[in-house]
């Protein structure tokens, strides 16, 4: 019998953006085998897609409830062990909750839920279930992001005093200016996307990147969001000033109407001894700055990197790895956890990161609606 972890996929069909990233990432380290799925709410499209990617169709189900019922009938050694949730946001909570209640491990896309209240309920559900839960903040899997985390932990930057994260995309620009178009994307529909579009979709990545790399928790924020049109119910651009428990402060700048921008996530972190600069579109270069030396460039795969970073490279230096590898590193960490093997807590984001994300999103909305006031993050 295969030693691979039996993976189920919810969403992520041929019509989706993120499905291919998860499928390829799950294969990359030879740990998972897709054995069941509901790729799409339309059963025919579901089966057609399974055939297209050569997955046996006998465990492709008409909907998520059927998947759970039918999988539970199978002997444990055949049953799906972990399900990945890649649907629009509003389905994350009901799917994750029911999966946990029935003993499955879960890998869930961000934002973990559509409200903070749901996130707390899910956290309680996980406590009772005792299974593994990961949230795919994709960028935490990059070797150079992991290197920042480990170097900051080792004191390389000294005391952190300023953080600036920018996440600029332009994909909504051709959509948002036409009423008919802006009413057809699920990300601008609060019923499907949740509290927020821009902060919920990409601001939350920026927020997680700060907490993941610095190891510090953001304490409070003041947000100013932009909706651009009266009838648009969702933020499509925004800025959040942030404060930590220490004297450190920072800013999160996020936009989906930054015309011409692609996936421009960039973080700069400044401590009293040094600084880091890292950009997602150039992920294999980590710029290390100081007052008294020329700027250094750290790159993946070299022995000078931390174990956590080296663990995330498969090839020698100079063989560029990218976003598929970054997601694959998260899947690798989850595989270790499922198998009860030792792993570094930086190998995959957890329920706590999911809850913090929803707290951030809720705080941005509350701060903006309250007239741009400072809000403590729960
Ligand atoms: N981690 C990242 O960097 C990242 C990037 C993009 C998207 N995402 C997240 O991934 C999720 C999906 O985003 P996307 O851009 O792929 O969306 P999408 O609209 O492109 O795809 C959604 C998929 O879910 C399927 N689906 C819808 N309802 C379903 C149901 N009831 N049962 C099963 N499948 C169903 C659709 O058929 C489609 O295949 C979102 O939560 C999004 O925030 C994360």
pLDDT in tens, 195-223: 999 999 999 999 999 999 999 999 999 99
Regarding the beta carbon of 11 and ligand 1, being less than 6 Å apart is answered yes
CA of 13 to the centre of ligand 1 (A): 8
Q: Is 36 left (phi over 0), alpha (psi -120 to 50) or beta?
A: beta
Q: What is the spatial distance between Cα 45 and Cα 359, in angstroms, rounded to a whole number? A: 36
Percent of the chain with pLDDT strictly greater than 70: 100
Angle at alpha carbon of residue 356, lines to 311 and 34, rounded to 5°: 50
CA of 66 to the centre of ligand 1 (A): 19
pLDDT at site 30: 96
pLDDT at 226 over 70: yes
Closest CA to 60 of 79, 32, 40: 40
**Percent helix, strand, coil in the chain (nearest 5)?**
40, 20, 40
- DSSP assignment of 6-65 equals EEEEEE--TT-SSHHHHHHHHHHTT-EEEEEEE--SSHHHHHHHHHHTT--GGGB-SSHH
Closest CA to 134 of 340, 378, 339, 335: 335
CA of 238 to the centre of ligand 1 (A): 23
Regarding the beta carbon of 140 and ligand 1, being less than 6 Å apart is answered no
What's the start-to-end Cα distance of the chain, in Å?
A: 46
Identify the residue whose C-alpha is closest to ligand 1 atom 5.
18
pTM of the full structure: 0.98
Identify the residue whose C-alpha is closest to ligand 1 atom 19.
16
SS3 at position 281? coil
Residues 80-139 have pLDDT tens digits of: 999 999 999 999 999 999 999 999 999 999 999 999 999 999 999 999 999 999 999 999
Q: What is the spatial distance between Cα 349 and Cα 356, in angstroms, rounded to a whole number? A: 11
Bridge partners, 251 (sequence order)? 164, 241
pLDDT at 1 over 80: no
pLDDT band of residue 316 (cuts 50, 70, 90) is very high
**CA Rg value for the chain:** 21
Residue 109 · residue 85 · CB < 8 Å: yes
Regarding the beta carbon of 88 and ligand 1, being less than 6 Å apart is answered yes
Reading the block at residue 183, the tokens are: 């009413």
pLDDT at 38 over 60: yes
CA 119 vs. chain centroid, Å, equals: 15
pLDDT at site 331: 98
In ligand 1, the atom with minimum distance to the C-alpha of 186 is: 19
Residue 197 · residue 235 · CB < 8 Å: yes
Best mutation site among 14, 61, 88 for ligand 1 pocket (most ligand atoms within 8 Å of CB): 88
Residues 335-364: what's their mean pLDDT? 98
Regarding the beta carbon of 189 and ligand 1, being less than 6 Å apart is answered no
Please check whether the domain covering 5-138 is classified as CATH 3.20.80.10: no
CATH class of 142-313+351-369: alpha beta
pLDDT at 344 over 90: yes
| Residue-range domain boundaries for the chain | 5-138, 142-313+351-369
Residue 148 · residue 280 · CB < 8 Å: no
pLDDT at 277 over 90: yes
Residues 290-313 have pLDDT tens digits of: 999 999 999 999 999 999 999 999
In ligand 1, the atom with minimum distance to the C-alpha of 87 is: 24
Regarding the beta carbon of 67 and ligand 1, being less than 6 Å apart is answered no
Percent of the chain with pLDDT strictly greater than 90: 98
SS3 at position 118? helix
Neighbours of 242 (CB within 10 A): 24
Identify the residue whose C-alpha is closest to ligand 1 atom 32.
41
pLDDT at 2 over 90: no
Identify the residue whose C-alpha is closest to ligand 1 atom 15.
17
Mean pLDDT for the chain overall = 97
């Amino acid at each position: 019998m295969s030693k691979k972890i039996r993976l189920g996929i919810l969403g992520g069909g041929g019509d989706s953006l993120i499905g291919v990233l998860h499928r390829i990432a799950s294969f990359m380290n030879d740990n998972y085998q897709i054995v069941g799925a509901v790729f799409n709410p339309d059963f025919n499209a579901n089966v057609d897609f399974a055939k297209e990617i050569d997955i046996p169709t006998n465990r492709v189900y008409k909907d998520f409830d059927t998947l759970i019922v039918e999988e539970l009938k199978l002997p444990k050694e055949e049953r799906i062990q972990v399900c990945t949730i890649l649907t629009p946001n509003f389905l994350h909570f009901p799917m994750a909750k029911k999966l946990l209640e029935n003993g499955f491990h879960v890998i869930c896309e961000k934002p973990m839920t559509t409200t903070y209240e749901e996130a707390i309920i899910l956290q309680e559900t996980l406590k009772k279930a005792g299974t593994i839960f990961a949230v795919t903040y994709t960028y935490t899997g990059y070797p150079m992001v992991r290197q920042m985390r480990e170097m900051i932990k080792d004191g390389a930057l000294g005391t952190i005093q300023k953080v600036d994260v920018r996440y600029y995309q332009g994909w909504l620009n051709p959509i948002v200016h036409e009423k008919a178009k802006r009413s057809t994307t699920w990300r601008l529909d609060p019923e499907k996307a949740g509290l927020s579009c821009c902060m919920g979709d990409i601001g939350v990545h920026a927020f997680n990147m700060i907490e993941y790399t610095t190891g510090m928790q953001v304490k409070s924020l003041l947000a100013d969001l932009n909706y651009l049109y009266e009838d648009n119910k969702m933020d499509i651009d925004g800025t959040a000033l942030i404060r930590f428990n220490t004297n450190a402060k920072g800013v999160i700048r996020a936009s989906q109407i930054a015309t011409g921008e692609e996936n421009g996530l960039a973080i700069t972190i400044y401590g009293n001894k040094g600084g880091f600069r890292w950009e997602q579109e150039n992920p294999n270069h980590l710029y290390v700055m100081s007052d008294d030396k020329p700027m250094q460039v750290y790159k993946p795969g070299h022995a000078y990197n931390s174990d956590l970073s080296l663990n995330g490279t498969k090839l020698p230096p100079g063989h560029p790895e990218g976003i598929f590898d970054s997601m694959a590193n998260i899947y690798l960490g989850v595989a270790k956890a499922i198998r009860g093997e030792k792993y570094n807590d930086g190998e995959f984001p957890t329920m706590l990161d999911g809850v913090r994300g929803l707290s951030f999103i809720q705080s941005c909305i509350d701060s903006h609606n309250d007239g741009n006031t400072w809000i403590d993050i729960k």
